Amino acid sequence: MFRPLQDRNFLLLWLGQLCSQSGDRLTQMVLVALVTTRSSGSALSLAAVMAITSLPALLVNPFAGVYVDRWDRKRTMIFCDLIRAGTIAGFPWLMTHAGGIPFYMGVFIVFAVAGFFVPARLAMIPDLVPAKSLAQANALFTSSGMIGSAVVLLIGALVVEWIGAVRSCWINAAAYMVSAAVILPIVRPKRPRVHRSASVKLISTEMVEGVQELWKHPDTRRIAGLLGILTAGAGASLVVGTVLVQKTLHSVTKDLGFLSLWMGIGMLTGSLAYSRWGTRRSRPIILGTSFLGCAVAIWLFIAGVIGLKSGMAASLAVWFLGFWIAPVGIVANILVHEGHAGQLHGRIFSSLGVVVNVAFISSMLLAGWLVERGGRGLLLGAIGAGFALSGLRLLCYTGKKERFP
């Protein structure tokens, strides 16, 4: 058994995390079902709601960490869970309003609140675990989060398919209520109150410094561009692939759940493979091969869904895609850690997050507009071609030294 789980307070935090993540993944399935039902499968409406789920990360996350350090973390997590539970329980009512603006506002609130919950949860780990167990505790959170997210996405997709989106909202809200109830009994050491200034001017200045540091360092500037390309392709593929699966395999959420499960398994195996063999390889080779692998995976997905109309073939393609996506994120983190002073890491990662979310949101909206005009398979094929060209460009650096690129 993992040693941190022997501590009652850490066990409660871990269980609360699993309940909260279950709510997060079920929310994704509920939103897909609600939008599909309300808009008769409109790709543009689906892209809009998916973009709104990412917009809070762009607007809220850079500020959330500053305030989480000043608030009581346990209370922050409980209030976040209660707000999400109440908002999601009201989704069926919000959907009845013409134009959908109240519903989209509710979606924004749910994901904006998550921007405070996640850093509060991560920041509480050192309060509950001794320094010698921190590595094991973080590994437990990461691995269980990957596996749990994939499994819950599948279960959530089946639940939504069986009982409908409206009733699923109640189960979704209950998951957050259970998370709040599990976190409530946690006892942790008192932290000294922080009285540092958190003015808008100071926060804005620190954000600008992070962007400047990211831009002037060649390695992180290039990895930011690569992450932007990867995320843009992923956002467009998510919209196009969702509509393609729904139209071809005639399922609202069930097949999407199975595909999400295989994506999670692929990312987990890709992470393990990189930690075992990838660290000894040149980073340009790892990144170039990963982008080429993503391209092949997308083309296999097109063949599996359009050509074979096979959920199993699509699942294998999605597993292959997840396998090759994982190393890109790992290499990006390593480059930031190696290339910048520790006191700048938070701002650098926030700046990378802005790049990623801008690319994700814009690509989803553009893909939704293009899908409305047909050519879903061609659009996915073009995304794969973009990944292939990026991979070939990266492999041109294989003759150079380890410095990237």
Confidence of residue 1 (pLDDT cuts 50, 70, 90): very low
Give the Å distances, CA to CA, from 63 to 99, 150, 176, 210, 348.
Answer: 30, 29, 23, 13, 14
Confidence of residue 193 (pLDDT cuts 50, 70, 90): low
DSSP category for residue 220: H
Give the Å distances, CA to CA, from 361 to 56, 221, 231.
Answer: 11, 20, 9
pLDDT confidence of residue 192? 53
pLDDT confidence of residue 82? 93
Residue whose tokens read 């000043």: 70
pLDDT confidence of residue 136? 59
323 compared with 402, residue with greater pLDDT: 323
Mean pLDDT computed over 379-392: 91
Mean pLDDT computed over 69-78: 81
Q: What is the pLDDT of residues 211-230, one digit of tens each?
A: 677 777 777 888 888 888 88
CB 383 within 8 A of CB 298: yes
Least confident of 80-89, 102-111, 282-291, 296-305: 102-111
pLDDT confidence of residue 201? 65
Radius of gyration of the chain (CA): 21
* Residue-averaged pLDDT of the chain: 76
**286-390-285 Cα angle (round to 5):** 20
Residue whose tokens read 């700048």: 344
Q: What is the pLDDT of residues 39-50, one digit of tens each?
A: 555 566 666 666
pLDDT confidence of residue 402? 44
**Token pair of 9 as six digits:** 């307070």
Q: Is the dihedral of CA 323, 326, 331, 334 positive or negative?
A: negative
pLDDT confidence of residue 397? 61
CB 296 within 8 A of CB 350: no
Least confident of 157-161, 262-266, 289-293: 157-161
Alpha-carbon gap, residue 181 to 74, rounded angstroms: 11
Domains and CATH numbers, the chain: 1-198 (1.20.1250.20), 202-405 (1.20.1250.20)
pLDDT confidence of residue 242? 77
Alpha-carbon gap, residue 283 to 291, rounded angstroms: 12
Mean pLDDT computed over 128-137: 64
Least confident of 142-146, 165-169, 185-189: 142-146
pLDDT confidence of residue 298? 94
Q: What is the pLDDT of residues 366-383, one digit of tens each?
A: 887 787 676 677 888 999
CB neighbour class for 314 (10 Å; exposed up to 12, middle 13-18, buried from 19):
buried
Query: For the whole model, what pTM was predicted?
Result: 0.65
Confidence of residue 2 (pLDDT cuts 50, 70, 90): very low
Least confident of 24-28, 58-62, 260-264: 58-62
